[in-house]
């Protein structure tokens, strides 16, 4: 198998594995639904039964009290004995139902047989519904022989009782249609039968209304059931999404941990190998320099002297690369310590200009300094900022063609900070390649064609060193117009002169030639905080 076909094969294998997992999950869900005897998911069926049981237990006191009120009311047209017998019957059926609901909630979900418990609760609700239906038969004979006003009031009360029962049972059992039917149909049939016994058009209309109201509450229960099922589905999807997010988070945490461990291992390896390479490299540089300078006698063959010079130049380049790798690994591992002191950015640009002047003159490049000598001191690491300036100038010298121009600028920022800028009129960098060149070992395509050799570490080191100072590197470039690399130091690193404590001429102690300064807006705990610096 070719190397290019491996990723495609891995993707196909992963998709087949996911398809098999989904098919197995669907098969398990289908088997569970068939075993439960319902089209719903078993967990949904369990949730619906749980809602019903909790609703019943929540009204364990109010419902018997309501039945007691019904019994007291029916004593106005029925014998008290019948009313008490009905009350005892309906409360007994309700107590049995509540006891089973309490037992259902105490059993762990994993041990619940949903199909068995659904049948049990349906039967118990049917018994409770039949007991409620007996309320319509209490005092039937006495009502038929009572005065017309008593007949009217008693049957209107029974009709109202039916509406109350339908409303309560719809709220409690709307999510399970079978339980709702078992608890309400017997009561409706009994009330309709009693109203039809009177043989009056008015009571016939009440009977028709009772059936219509029952159908209306059944319609409402369908909507409530659909809403509840949607809520359960959304909750299940939310739980699944949360579980997936937790799983992905654990995978990403593990991947990050491995990446950090690999990065640390890489840094340790580069640091170790760099140290190991520097020892023989120093010997190569020393001996090649002795041979190139012919310190122990002239070489008869001039080509040997040229070879020695090439060896020395290559060794110097390799040593520079090793030093850059060491600096980068120290910064990334957090072992680069800043030795901060008051300094001027203009002094750094002057020094770097002198160091690279011969190289610039060799290419015929004009270096122009645009600096403000009156800028205040900054609190920073001299070695780090010198390396920043040298790296930026070296890059500019690499990319600027012969006869070009480089401008070194140092100035103040609007927020109180200071900047150091290196601008050239070289070939420039494409906008889409700027993020690449800022990475370690990153180089643009145009750089390979026009610039001298390099490892692509200069800008990465500059960016890291400026982050250690709380600053930033801003790289702007345009093709065929040049590049502008600007490093910015924040305002809290700029030192401002202290105002005189007394008016001039009235000081107790006069310090001639020395201006006392203090750090301005330094962060608490900063090495420069709490002290003063002398401005020369």
Locate tokens 């002047």: which residue?
Answer: 357
Q: How would you classify the pairing of strands 472-478 and 418-424?
A: unpaired
- Inside any domain, residue 122: yes
Return the residue matching tokens 């009502």: 143
Residue 271: the pLDDT is 66
Residue 501 within a domain: no
**Three state DSSP letters for 483-499:** EEEEEEECHHHEEEECC
504 CB burial (10 A radius; 0-12, 13-18, 19+): exposed
Q: How far is 419 from 307, CA to CA, in rounded Å?
A: 43
Q: Verify that 180 and 86 share a domain, yes or no.
A: yes
Q: Which domain holds residue 7?
A: 1-30
pTM for the whole thing? 0.47
Is residue 172 located within the same domain as residue 218?
Answer: yes
Sign of CA dihedral 186, 191, 197, 202: negative
Give pLDDT, residue 185: 92
DSSP 3-state percent helix, strand, coil across the chain (nearest 5): 65, 10, 25
Asked if the structure places residue 279 within a domain, the reply is: no
Residue pair 157/212 in contact by the 8 Å Cβ criterion: no
State the total domains in the chain.
Answer: 4
Nearest residue to 329 via CA among 441, 245, 412: 441
Produce one character per residue of 439-471: b if its CB has 16 or more CB atoms within 10 Å, e if not. Answer: ebebbbebbeeebeebbbbbbbbbbbbbeebbb
- Per-position DSSP letters for 328-346, written without gaps between them: HHHHHTT-----EEEE-HH
What residues contact residue 135 under an 8 Å CB cut-off, 6+ apart?
Answer: 70, 74, 86, 90, 158, 161, 187, 190
Token code pair at residue 485: 């690399």
For residues 90 and 143, membership in a common domain is answered with: yes
**How many Å from the N-terminal Cα to the C-terminal Cα in the chain?**
72
Strands (E), 151-256: none
Residues 295, 129: Cα–Cα separation, whole Å: 117
Tokens standing for residue 503: 């008016």
Can you read off the two tokens belonging to residue 411? 């100035």
d(CA 337, CA 331) in angstroms, rounded, equals 9
Q: Which residues have a Cβ under 8 Å from the Cβ of 198 and sit 6 or more positions away?
A: 144, 151, 155
| Residues 308 and 350 reside in one and the same domain | no
Examine the domain organization and report whether 358 and 402 are in the same domain.
yes
Does residue 149 lie within any of the structural domains? yes
pLDDT for the residue numbered 243: 83
Q: Is residue 518 part of a domain?
A: no
What count of other Cβ atoms lies within 10 Å of the Cβ of residue 312? 20
Q: Which of these, 30, 24, 32, 48, lies nearest to 233 by C-alpha position?
A: 48
Alpha-carbon gap, residue 313 to 282, rounded angstroms: 12
**What is the three-state SS of 210-224?**
HHHHHHHHHHHHHHH
The distance of Cα 244 from the centroid of its chain, to the nearest Å, equals: 13
Q: 422 - beta bridge partners? A: 408, 485
Burial tier of 433 (Cβ tally within 10 Å: 0-12, 13-18, 19+): middle
Reading the block at residue 476, the tokens are 């702007």
Other C-beta atoms lying within 10 Å of the C-beta of residue 170:
20
Residues 161 and 292 in one domain: no
Residues 349 and 457 in one domain: yes
The answer to whether residue 23 is domain-embedded is yes
Instruction: Please indicate, yes or no, whether residues 85 and 190 belong to a single structural domain of this protein.
Output: yes
Structural contact between residues 183 and 121, judged by C-beta atoms closer than 8 angstroms: no
Q: Rounded CA gap, 360 and 385, in Å?
A: 20
**DSSP 8-state class, residue 433:** G
What pLDDT score does 98 carry? 92
Nearest to 114 by CA among 186, 195, 45, 215: 45
> Does residue 219 sit in the same domain as residue 314?
no
- How far is it, in rounded angstroms, from Cα 391 to Cα 344? 18
Q: Are residues 182 and 204 in the same domain?
A: yes
Contact 317, 453 (CB under 8 A): yes
Distance of CA 361 to the CA centre of its chain: 54
Task: Give the pLDDT score at 410.
Answer: 93
- Find the CATH number of the domain harbouring 419: 3.30.565.10
Same domain, 17 and 123: no
What pLDDT score does 27 carry?
47
pLDDT tens across the length of the chain (536 residues): 444 444 455 456 556 666 655 555 554 554 444 444 455 566 678 888 888 899 899 888 988 999 999 889 888 888 889 889 999 999 999 999 999 999 999 998 888 888 899 899 999 999 999 999 998 888 777 766 767 777 888 888 888 998 999 999 888 888 888 899 998 999 999 999 988 888 888 889 989 999 999 999 999 988 888 888 888 888 878 888 888 888 888 888 888 888 888 877 777 776 677 667 777 878 888 888 888 777 877 777 788 878 888 887 788 777 777 777 777 777 776 677 888 999 999 999 999 898 888 888 888 999 999 888 889 999 999 988 988 998 899 888 888 888 889 999 999 999 889 999 999 988 888 888 888 888 777 676 665 555 455 667 788 888 888 998 999 999 998 888 889 999 999 999 998 766 555 555 555 444 444 444 444 444 444 444 444 333 33
Matching residue, tokens 């500059």: 462
CA atoms within 13 A on the CB side of 161: 27
Pairing of strands 405-412, 366-371: parallel
Full 3-state SS string of 31-100 = HHHHHHCCCCCHHHHHHHHHHHHHHHHHCCCHHHHHHHHHHHHHCCCCCHHHHHHHHHHHHHHHHHHHHH
**Token digits of residue 342:** 């008051």
Examine residue 275 and state whether it is found in any structural domain, yes or no.
no
95 shares its domain with 154: yes
Helix or strand run (H / E) with residue 411: strand 405-412
Q: In sequence order, which residues have a C-beta less than 8 Å from that of residue 506 and are 6 or more positions away?
A: none
The DSSP code for 438 is T
In a domain, 510, yes or no: no
């Amino acid at each position: 198998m070719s190397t290019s076909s491996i990723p495609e094969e891995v993707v196909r294998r992963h998709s087949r594995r996911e398809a098999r997992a989904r098919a197995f999950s669907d098969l398990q869900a289908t088997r569970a639904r068939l075993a439960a005897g319902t089209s719903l998911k078993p967990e949904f069926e369990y949730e619906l039964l749980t809602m019903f049981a909790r609703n019943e237990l929540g009204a364990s006191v109010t419902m018997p009290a309501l039945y007691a009120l019904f019994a007291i009311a029916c004593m106005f047209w029925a014998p008290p004995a019948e009313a008490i017998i009905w009350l005892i019957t309906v409360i007994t059926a309700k107590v049995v139902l509540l006891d089973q609901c309490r037992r259902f909630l105490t059993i762990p979900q994993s041990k619940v047989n949903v199909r068995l418990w659904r049948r049990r609760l349906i039967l118990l609700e049917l018994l409770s519904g039949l007991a409620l239906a007996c309320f319509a038969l209490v005092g039937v004979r006495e009502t038929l022989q009572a005065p017309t006003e008593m007949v009217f009031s008693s049957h209107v009360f029974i009709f109202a009782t039916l509406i109350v029962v339908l409303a309560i049972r719809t709220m409690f059992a709307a999510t399970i249609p079978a339980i709702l039917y078992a608890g309400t149909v017997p009561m409706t049939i009994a009330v309709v039968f009693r109203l039809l016994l009177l043989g009056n058009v008015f009571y016939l209309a009440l009977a028709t209304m009772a059936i219509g109201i029952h159908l209306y509450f059944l319609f409402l229960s369908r909507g409530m059931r659909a809403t509840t099922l949607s809520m359960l589905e959304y909750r299940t999807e939310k739980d699944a999404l949360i579980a997936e997010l937790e799983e992905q988070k654990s995978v990403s945490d593990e991947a990050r941990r491995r990446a950090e461990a690999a990065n640390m291992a890489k840094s340790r390896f580069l640091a170790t190998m760099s140290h190991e390479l520097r020892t023989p490299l120093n010997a190569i540089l020393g001996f090649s320099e002795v041979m190139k300078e012919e310190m122990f006698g002239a070489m008869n063959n001039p080509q040997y002297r040229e070879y020695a010079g090439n060896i020395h130049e290559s060794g110097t380049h390799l040593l520079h690369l090793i030093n850059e790798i060491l600096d980068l690994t120290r910064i990334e591992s957090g072992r680069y310590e800043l030795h901060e002191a008051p300094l001027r950015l203009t002094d750094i640009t002057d020094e770097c200009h002198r160091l690279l002047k011969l190289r610039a003159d060799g290419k015929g490049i004009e270096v122009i300094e645009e600096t403000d000598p009156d800028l205040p001191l900054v609190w920073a690491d001299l070695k780090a900022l010198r390396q920043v300036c040298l790296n930026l100038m070296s890059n500019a010298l690499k990319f600027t063609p012969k006869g070009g121009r480089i401008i070194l600028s140092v100035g103040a920022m609007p927020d109180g900070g200071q900047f150091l800028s290196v601008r050239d009129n070289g070939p420039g960098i494409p906008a889409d390649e700027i993020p690449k060149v800022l990475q370690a070992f990153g180089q643009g395509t145009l750089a390979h064609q026009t610039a001298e050799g390099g490892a692509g570490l200069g800008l990465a080191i500059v960016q890291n060193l400026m982050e250690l100072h709380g600053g930033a590197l801003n790289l702007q470039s345009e093709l065929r117009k040049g590049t502008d690399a600007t490093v910015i130091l924040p305002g809290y690193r700029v030192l401002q002169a202290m105002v005189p404590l007394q008016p001039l001429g009235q000081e107790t102690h006069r310090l001639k030639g020395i201006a006392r300064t203090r750090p301005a807006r330094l962060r608490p705990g900063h090495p420069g905080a709490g002290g003063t610096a002398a401005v020369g």
